Amino acid sequence: MSHVLQAPVAPGGTIGILGGGQLGRMLALAAARLGLKTHIYCDEPSPAFEVAAAHTLAAYDDEAALARFAASCDVASFEFENVPAAAAAFVAARVAFAPRVAALELTQDRLAEKTFATKLGLRTAPFAEVSSAEEARAAFAKIGAPAVLKTRRFGYDGKGQAKVSSPEEVVRAFDEDAPAVLEGFIDFAFEVSVVAARGRDGAFAAYDPVENVHENHILRRSTVPSRLAAAKAAEAALIARKIAEALDYVGVFAVELFATKDGALLVNEIAPRVHNSGHWTIEACSTSQFEQHIRAIAGWPLGSPQRHSNAVMENILGAEAADWLRLSTSGALHLYGKKEMRPGRKMGHLTRLFPRGER
């Protein structure tokens, strides 16, 4: 049984966040602007600890620690989709929690997520379940080449993915301990995402779609406005709204889309959280995606998603963060406080603003 938030969380109240990465850190900073405290729960020392009023360092299956965490919060949420659903459900049984645990569980499974999208009448890449070598061959016969084999769970930034061009390659790439989904490869024109929010009262607000460029499967750059025409941008927002309403969603989420060469929009992934491609909203909008999420889960009215500037956001990866002094004069610099500069690790981001009408 989930608890219901009886009234908006007043300034001085505490927002609980499961997960302590950079998204949790920026949620804590946004909450502080509104006079709200945060309590971060994570199983390892994390960047969000440094800016939160309280933190708990404990395993996600430590029920005693989770119970103390829940008791300290007025409402709780999570900042990454791989937080164990059992931990989220344990907390949700003790304190108001958003988004719903069902949304977390759905988006942790690529097959369930794509099946959900197609049942809503939304387009996706063709896909098929792969849970055995026999299913691997059958899936390839259905999907054809080229295709991408993806683990159903725990994949991000390109992890758990393999491009395949024959049934033998699918069988070799398939791990019987990791059920997968085979997806048809989409020769898209560009990638976009729409970051949106739904409040506890059902109010909906979407930010302008952003165009994304990936390098080595990691987001490198997000640009707004995207190349989508106005009608397609409205369609992207409608896709997000359909998803939010079907999930009875509360909070911020993102829908990653492929814009195909024939003008179609295909749902690639749903992220039930604030999103890397929405970081530009901190500088370019009166209400950032982080504040919007805090507002939504705390029962406040949603803020305006209106954009006052064009923006380009770039991730700072690995050793690039060592050039922080130069970067500090290049735009709005955000460093996440991570100690180790591993290759491909997101160490921060930089946002540059431009007057509307310029890119």
Is 28 within a domain? yes
- ∠ at Cα 36 (205, 74), nearest 5°? 90
- Same structural domain, 307 and 162: no
pLDDT by residue (tens digit) across 242-272? 999 999 999 999 999 999 999 999 999 999 9
Is 59 within a domain? yes
DSSP 236-258: HHHHHHHHHHHTT--EEEEEEEE
Q: Which residue has the tokens 């080229």?
A: 146
Q: How far is Cα 16 from Cα 70, in angstroms, rounded to an integer?
A: 7
Q: What are phi and psi of 216, to 5 degrees?
A: 55, 40
| Residue pair 177/158 in contact by the 8 Å Cβ criterion | no
First-last CA distance in the chain: 49
Is 106 within a domain? no
Q: What is the pTM of this model?
A: 0.95
- Same structural domain, 26 and 148: no
CATH number of the domain that 89 lies in? Answer: 3.40.50.20
* Parallel/antiparallel/unpaired status of strands 14-18 and 75-78: parallel
Q: How far is Cα 160 from Cα 183, in angstroms, rounded to an integer?
A: 13
- Same structural domain, 165 and 195: no
Q: How far is Cα 196 from Cα 88, in angstroms, rounded to an integer?
A: 22
| Residue pair 243/235 in contact by the 8 Å Cβ criterion | no
pLDDT by residue (tens digit) across 115-137? 999 999 999 999 999 988 888 89
278 pLDDT more than 80: yes
Q: How far is Cα 66 from Cα 143, in angstroms, rounded to an integer?
A: 43
Among 52, 76, 97, which residue terminates a domain?
A: 97
- Same structural domain, 35 and 62: yes
Is 46 within a domain? yes
10 Å CB burial of residue 358 (0-12, 13-18, 19+) is exposed
Q: What are phi and psi of 179, to 5 degrees?
A: -50, 145
CATH number of the domain that 231 lies in? Answer: 3.30.470.20
Structural domain range at position 31? 14-97
Cis peptide upstream of residue 343 (ω within 30 degrees of 0): no
Closest CA to 200 of 119, 297, 108, 277: 297
pLDDT by residue (tens digit) across 282-326? 999 999 999 999 999 999 999 999 999 999 999 999 999 999 999
- Same structural domain, 177 and 292: no
Tokens of 101: 């645990």
Confidence tier at 167 by pLDDT (50, 70, 90): confident
> Across all residues in the chain, what is the average pLDDT?
95
33 pLDDT more than 60: yes
